[in-house]
Amino acid sequence: MDRERVGSTTVAASGWMTGFKLLIAVTVVIGVLAPPAAGSARSTGAQAREALIRAQLTPRPLYPSILPDPLGIDNTATFTHGHFFRWKGSNTNPDWLSINYKCRCYGRRTDLVNATFSRSPVSDVGKAINLSQNVQGHPVSRVRVHGRRMYRFKTDRWFGYMWKQQGFAYSVFARYSSRVGWTFMREFVGSLHPLGRLWTGRTSQGRPVYLYRSGGGLDWTVFSVFSCAGGGRTDVGYDEDLVGVNHGGAFADVFSLINLPDPDTPVRDTLSMKGRFPSSTGTKVTGSFDSHQVSVHHPGDPRWNCGAKLSWQASPFSE
């Protein structure tokens, strides 16, 4: 991870500006948000990303290929056509954006994480510098993070970065919290790539499958029904944050992990997810998914001897 290289502590306002694998026992219904022309819609982080893709902002904006923890584990999100710093006037540019992420981590009120990623007018840079440095008395530093030259801010309630790119001001800010700090901010900035492409589809069981491919890699999610030796059935969701795709368009993800569906019964999950992107754009992606779980301490227990083997296909998300 890049370390910040901090420059001067006073800045003139006229200047410029990892993954985890998750298994969830769920009954899932995932919708696709239509982009709000104004205002916002509350959703998950994945749905906010879908709304941003559908909005067709110009130029195609930066977006994190993966949300840093704890947002990557549990989040809600609000997508808005507008910008984070709401100065005098109204939102008039449809190519501005603001996504606010929240995580009440582990359900505890004291663990609230609140972060905002925005693209806004360049004039916001000088206004933010003035607010932080001259109004609230917090110095602003010039830094370089993951190859990007930007400003590091601390205000009375928020901290984060702003920089110029694509003719806009980009910003990543979070409220002060014991759960996030500058490491979280650097991970967020390091994950930014031009907004990628999304494929959505169904498995051979009729359950959803999602693939999001960006400059950071492939983020896939697939839902399936496990049939157990004891006759039970379980809806299961698998998520993999980033997987590499080779020059021929093929990808493969194979892993094994310990899961705790019951505190007294750890199970080992083994999984294989494979697929291939076609050479021509606009066509379907196809692949297979094979997963199995068995009790660690009681491998013969039919309640935890479950699995699924299926195929899937996904089409380009309609923008």
pLDDT in tens, 228-269: 998 988 888 888 779 999 999 999 999 999 988 777 889 999
The model's pLDDT over 169-187, given as tens digits with 9 standing for 90+, comes to 999 999 998 889 999 999 9
Is 148's pLDDT higher than 80? yes
Domain-embedded: residue 223? yes
Would residue 91 count as lying in a domain? yes
Domain that residue 128 falls in: 33-194
- Range with the poorest average pLDDT among 1-5, 42-46, 62-66, 277-281: 1-5
The answer to whether residues 183 and 76 belong to one domain is: yes
Q: Please indicate, yes or no, whether residues 203 and 157 belong to a single structural domain of this protein.
A: no
69/199: higher pLDDT: 199
pLDDT of residue 64 exceeding 70, the answer is yes
Q: Which of 66, 139, 76, 140 is nearest to 103 (CA)?
A: 76
* Residue 20 domain flag: no
* Residue 19 pLDDT > 80: no
For residue 97, the domain's CATH number is 3.40.1000
Tokens representing residue 295 in the block: 């009790």
Band of the pLDDT at 84, cuts 50, 70, 90? Answer: low
Closest CA to 164 of 152, 145, 151: 151
Give tens-digit pLDDT for 114-135. 999 999 999 999 999 999 999 9
Query: How much is the mean pLDDT over the chain?
Result: 82
106 and 90 share one domain = yes
Per-residue pLDDT at 40 exceeds 90:
no
Structurally, the chain folds into a number of domains equal to 2
pLDDT at 8 over 50: no
